[in-house]
Chains A and B, each alone.
Chain A
Amino acid sequence: MPVIAVRDLAKTYSTGAVEVRAVRGVNLDIEAGEFVAVVGPSGSGKSTFMHILGCLDRPTRGSYELEGRDVSRLTRDQLADIRNTKIGFVFQGFNLLARTSALENVELPLLYRGPSVRGAERRRRALAMLDAVGLADRVDHMPNQLSGGQQQRVAIARALVNDPAILLADEPTGNLDSTTSREVLDLFRQLNA
């Protein structure tokens, strides 16, 4: 059984008179352990598709089954749990919490975990994650004190901190130099292995 099964998935934005068909009838199965890349030109609907897969947005047509469960039937709270523990999401625009240290940003998903994680444990796991993305010396920096690439790496650390089964990364190397890009992709491959 595929982890992700998408049938005829479509998303249409209607802003006033214009209808934007961002995603038009996607069919896709992803098995556990697969490493998949979605490619396309700018504005082709990659982010829109990823948001739907990440249970952040709902499609206007078609079905999406996650681990055999029809996502459209899940409640808001169930979706929140899935986003928290099953899926790690790296946003294209990072979406770090402003005026909040890198460490606390990475700790965020741990705050909302079902059985609550104790403060010391949260800190330990967040530090380990930041270390894995090479930011051990920047844990107390605020987002505006970090470079674009560093911010992106904080976002990656945050997506991984809850040890999710699925990692969705929206252009995770868009702001990185080629060396760091390779490192990040290596990190993903390592996690995938």
Chain B
Amino acid sequence: MTLLVTIRVALKALGRNKLRTALTMLGMIIGVAAVITMVALGRGAQQEIETQIQSAGTNLIRVRAGNFRRGGVSMGVGGAPTLTVEDVEAIRREVPGARYLAAGVSTRDQVIAANRNWNTQIEGTDVELPLIRIWDVETGVFFNPSHVRSAAKVAVLGSVVRDNLFGEGADPVGERIRIRNQSFQVLGVMAPKGTGGFGQDQDDTIFVPYTTVQKKLRGRDGTNISGITISADSPDNVNPVADEITAVLRAQHGIPPGEPDDFMVRTQTDITTMRSQMTQTMTGLLAGIAGVSLIVGGIGIMNIMLVSVTERTREIGLRMALGAKGRHVLWQFLVEAIVLSLVGGVVGIGLGFGVSESLTRVLLWPTAFPADAVALAVGFAAAVGIFFGFYPARQAARLDPIDSLRFE
């Protein structure tokens, strides 16, 4: 009996009970579709991160005060007041590869405009920030060095803040907002930037001179800052510049060799890698959960095949009486199981593709069709068919012809 004939016999047997065949396949279809969708979503997220990094500027270096890797007391990033404006000046002086620098002090507060208010991130920064983040002002202007020197009460709004305080698309330049009972003048609005490297909304923020945060909002006159944002002069130079910055800051802070840093230097690449790893773990987890449904689908196939073998005992007995050998019967049932799982797998791929497409179209979630996951799903489906089909098929092949013929 050739394989072709075996496949035809299997297809005919499956065709005799279409509803059952369809329901058995459904388990496989859902399993494969779930895996494909999850992986497609994960890959889409991955690709989006890569795009975001390009938009954030690949030359970005961030320095944060404090270092959570320091032994003993847990400081938390930004928890220790170890960075000062002098550090910024030292880097500017001694690291020529650091093209743009901006000191940063952030806080969160309620912002009030006329009759509306909004709780948002207040980012104290310096004039070079738009150059570092490659981020344009849409209307109005960014603050200038004299604003920074005088700790002027001026603010540049992120587009989300503008939308919530003044209404969507409004032009608030020249208007006044209140933060901690102090009146600030709106200088401009940033162009919308979208979601940032860690999923935060970058447009939900207000930029003010860092000196203003230090002197007017924190209520304590100090030179401490919580971070420095730096742009290296070329992508290739990011790591050397980061190293030089580390050396300069250690010298500034008088840290003896062997002692840990009291600050953290992170490049955009570090952040990207971390974020990518997070997404990968997430994708793996989701695909794993989806994979469980594949196994459940396989058990469904085994269940139906066992029922089928019992139901068709007489048929098996007859085929054996007419000359079918154990392996003929084994193959007949195995091929049935494989057809169930493979056809289920292929339909599942179609469904998974459809679902990811709709997620992209309707919910605007980014997805990327994972060709390797498709190959994997097909292979896995076939493996499930063989694995879960083998036991019932072997049961069938071991039957005795006369006993099976008499079976009721």
Which of A's residues lie within 8 Å of B, judged by CB? 51, 54, 56-57, 76-77, 80-81, 83-85, 89, 91, 95, 97-99, 108-109, 111-113, 116, 119, 158, 162
Contact = CB atoms under 8 A, between A and B. Distances in A.
A81 B323 contact: yes
11 contacts: A77-B325, A81-B325, A91-B405, A95-B405, A98-B315, A108-B319, A111-B1, A111-B5, A111-B324, A119-B5, A158-B322
Given A111-B1, A112-B1, A116-B2, A56 B318 contact: no
A83 B5 contact: no
Is the interface on chain B under 10, 10 to 19, 20 to 34, or 35 or more residues?
20 to 34
Contact of A83 (B315, B323, B326, B328): B323
Contacts of B319: 108, 112
B318 A77 contact: no
B322 A84 contact: yes
Nearest to A122: B5
Given A77-B325, A89-B321, A97 B315 contact: yes
A26 B62 CA distance: 99
Contacts of B315: 97-98
Contacts of A109: 322-323
Contact of A112 (B16, B328, B401): B328
Contacts of B325: 76-77, 80-81, 112
A2 to B, nearest CB: 24
B323 A56 contact: no
Interface string B304-340: 0000000000110011111111101000000000000
A83 B402 contact: no
Q: Which 3 A-B pairs have the closest CB atoms?
A: A84-B323, A112-B323, A57-B402
A87 B324 CA distance: 13
A108 B405 CA distance: 16
B324 A112 contact: yes
Contacts of A98: 315
A99 B158 CA distance: 73
Contacts of B1: 111-112, 116
A76 B321 contact: no
B127 to A, nearest CB: 84
Interface centre among A80, A91, A99, A113 (most CB of B within 10 A): A80
A1 to B, nearest CB: 25
Contacts of B5: 111, 116, 119
A77 B324 CA distance: 9
B321 A99 contact: no
Given A80-B320, A116-B1, A56 B326 contact: no
Contacts of B401: 56, 83
A95 B2 contact: no
Nearest to A84: B323
A113 B323 contact: yes
Contacts of A158: 322
B310 to A, nearest CB: 16
A77 B326 contact: yes
Contacts of A81: 323, 325
Interface in B256-315: 314-315
Contacts of A57: 402
Nearest to A83: B323
A56 B324 contact: no
A35 B172 CA distance: 112
A179 B322 CA distance: 29
A85 B323 contact: yes
A111 B322 CA distance: 9
Nearest to B397: A76
B402 A95 contact: no
A80 B314 CA distance: 16
A29 B272 CA distance: 89
A54 B317 CA distance: 14
A83 B16 contact: no
B243 to A, nearest CB: 73
Interface string B365-408: 00000000000000000000000000000000000011001000
B7 to A, nearest CB: 13
Given A80-B325, A85-B323, 18 more contacts: A56-B402, A56-B405, A76-B326, A77-B325, A81-B325, A83-B322, A91-B321, A95-B321, A109-B322, A111-B9, A111-B324, A112-B1, A112-B319, A112-B323, A112-B324, A112-B325, A113-B323, A158-B322
Given A97-B318, A111-B5, A116-B1, A51 B324 contact: no
Given A56-B402, A112-B1, A112-B328, A99 B323 contact: no
Nearest to B326: A76
B9 to A, nearest CB: 8
A109 B314 CA distance: 16
